[in-house]
Amino acid sequence: MPMSNIAVICRDPADSFARTLADRLVLPLLAMSDALSSGCEFFLCQREGCLKLLDRQTLKKGGLFVEVDPRPGEQASYPAPKKDLLALAVGKKSRTIVDATAGWAQDSLAMFRMGYQVTSIERSPVMAALIRDGFERLAQKDWVQRRKLEPPTLLVGNAIERLANLQEKPDCIYLDPMFPPKRKASAATRKSMAILRDILGDDLDRQVLFDAAIAATGRRVVVKSPDHAEPMGGKPSESYHGKLLRYDVYLTDT
């Protein structure tokens, strides 16, 4: 999505947060009353204590944001049990993980809640702003402060370049690239994933990203993909299958 299709909404003339955000992202700053006539399709707005991404249908109510609480079905304790497919794929013995395709940061946050040390990379400045807001809210959670935990580290930029410049090799590099869609998305995921695809587009450089991850990892690369997609690195060392997706694991000798 062109950045010209997004604006920041200023709900109050004294809203310094909105003004600072618009300046940092080099986006138009609009009053709520001017949003519909602006020609923009999406809007960033501070609402209900968090930064939200709105479209024309959610200007008055709603919006998407980075959810930092446990997902449905996840245990709320810390560290969360390492029992699901994601945990099996990244490996219980892993300590440091780089999520090179953060998106809405839900997998980054799930791995953080399992006790891993997580670094998230996001190339879209808009998505990075939403993630940063989520991580800042996470830092204020009582259970995070009681345990003196540090939220995941956020790196903004091209993951291929960022991986090449890591100071230390992580135990695991996690990839969830945007594949061309094949199936109709479920009602629960359609909105957030459709907007993410609008913002990011398909990852046409995902093979280069995979090669960069193999070169940068200390132990393993995990690729999350739809079950119909061909493995990115040929036959994986291990593979964990869900109903509509799978995690391919590539172990390295380093």
Distance from C-alpha of 198 to C-alpha of 69, rounded to nearest angstrom: 25
**∠ CA 54-56-59, rounded to 5°:** 55
Residue 166: inside a domain: yes
Residue in 58, 88, 245, 94 with CA at minimum distance from that of residue 172: 94
pLDDT digits 0-9 by tens, 140-152 = 999 999 999 999 9
Q: pLDDT tens digits, residue range 92-139?
A: 899 999 999 999 999 999 999 999 999 999 999 999 999 999 999 999
Residues 11 and 47 in one domain: yes
Q: Is residue 68 situated within a structural domain?
A: no
Instruction: Reduce the secondary structure of the chain to three states and give it as a string.
Output: CCHHHEEEEECCCCCHHHHHHHHHHCCCEEEHHHCCCCCCCEEEEEECCEEEEEEHHHCCCCCECCCCCCCCCCCCCCCCCCCCHHHHHHCCCCCEEEECCCCCCHHHHHHHHCCCEEEEEECCHHHHHHHHHHHHHHHCCHHHHHCCCCCCEEEECCHHHHHHCCCCCCCEEEECCCCCCCCCCCHHHHHHHHHHHHHHCCCCCHHHHHHHHHHHCCCEEEEEEECCCCCECECCCEEEECCCEEEEEEECCC
Question: Residue 189 has which token pair?
Answer: 């995921």
Say if residue 124 is in the same domain as residue 243.
yes
Amino acid in the structure at residue 207: Q
Q: Are residues 223 and 132 part of one domain?
A: yes
Which CATH number does the domain housing residue 130 bear? 3.40.50.150
Q: For the segment 42-80, what is each residue's pLDDT rounded down to a tens digit?
A: 999 999 999 999 998 889 888 999 999 877 666 667 888
Going by pLDDT thresholds of 50, 70 and 90, the confidence category of residue 180 is low
Residues 94 and 52 in one domain: no
Neighbours of 210 (CB within 10 A): 23
- pLDDT for position 181: 61
Question: Does any domain span residue 185?
Answer: yes
Q: Between the CA atoms of 87, 199, 72 and 52, what dihedral angle is there, to the nearest 10 degrees?
A: 130
Q: Which domain holds residue 205?
A: 85-251
- Shared-domain flag, residues 115 and 202: yes
pTM of the model: 0.90
Whether residue 198 sits in one domain with residue 123? yes
